[in-house]
Chains A and B, each alone.
Chain A
């Protein structure tokens, strides 16, 4: 499966770069001209999952240390889009987050980011990688 687009971004561990990273995701979606679905909705969803994934890395994995870095890789083919977000910190437990769609957790203030990522992507994994971790999110486009 040949990637049409393969982008790697490295930014400091700071939330000020969220808007820029989200916009790159939107622009990638708009370039996928063989995608038959709603391209503007896909653009929004990529902006959202990139924002949520990077915020998780900044706050929970890299413990908000502004001297650390975050690496993001966006790969897109006609069949699939894959986003990887690398952190260099302690990580977090992807399975141990409340589900805000349950009524009891609906007014909680945590766990909504991971819930949103899981809702918008087809697969989400968080794995150890070279002393840090990688959040891997995939979405089928076919």
Chain B
């Protein structure tokens, strides 16, 4: 899975550079999130601008990241949701759980 990670102060930004975030590759994102949490990261921003398709496994990994960040008194924000991806958050009511921003810059201003 193609991921790009940037550091902005205490925030780690993960750009998911895949067309799909699904049961085939979401475990790799989960492993990367766990690695960051284990190394002391508390505030994560996941940019999904390039993701056109997400399934329940992809959503599950994001929920797991959200819970992990919350348990550490950190934050787990999302940006760049394409319309079909956004529709999956709405269908599963997860848009009420996450802080969702249009762009990475918008999200960074919220910290």
For residues 35 through 53 of chain B, which have their beta carbon under 8 Å from a beta carbon of chain A?
Answer: 53
Interface flags, B72-111, vs A, CB<8A=1, else 0: 0000000000001001100111101100000000000000
Question: How many of A's residues come within 8 Å of B, CB to CB?
Answer: 27
Name, among B22, B55, B87, B96, the residue most crowded by chain A CB atoms within 10 Å (CB to CB): B55
* A-B residue pair count with CB separations less than 8 angstroms: 69
Interface residues on B, range: 20 to 34
- The reply on B11 being an interface residue by CB < 8 A is no
Shortest Cβ distance from B25 into A: residue: A15
- The reply on A106 being an interface residue by CB < 8 A is yes
Sample 5 A-B pairs with CB under 8 A, ordered by A number. A18-B22, A100-B93, A115-B56, A116-B92, A119-B91
B-side interface residues toward A, CB under 8 Å?
A: 19-20, 22-24, 53, 55-57, 59-60, 63-64, 66-67, 84, 87-88, 91-94, 96-97
A-side interface residues toward B, CB under 8 Å?
A: 15-16, 18-19, 22, 41, 44, 47-48, 51-52, 55, 58-59, 100-101, 106-110, 112-113, 115-116, 119-120
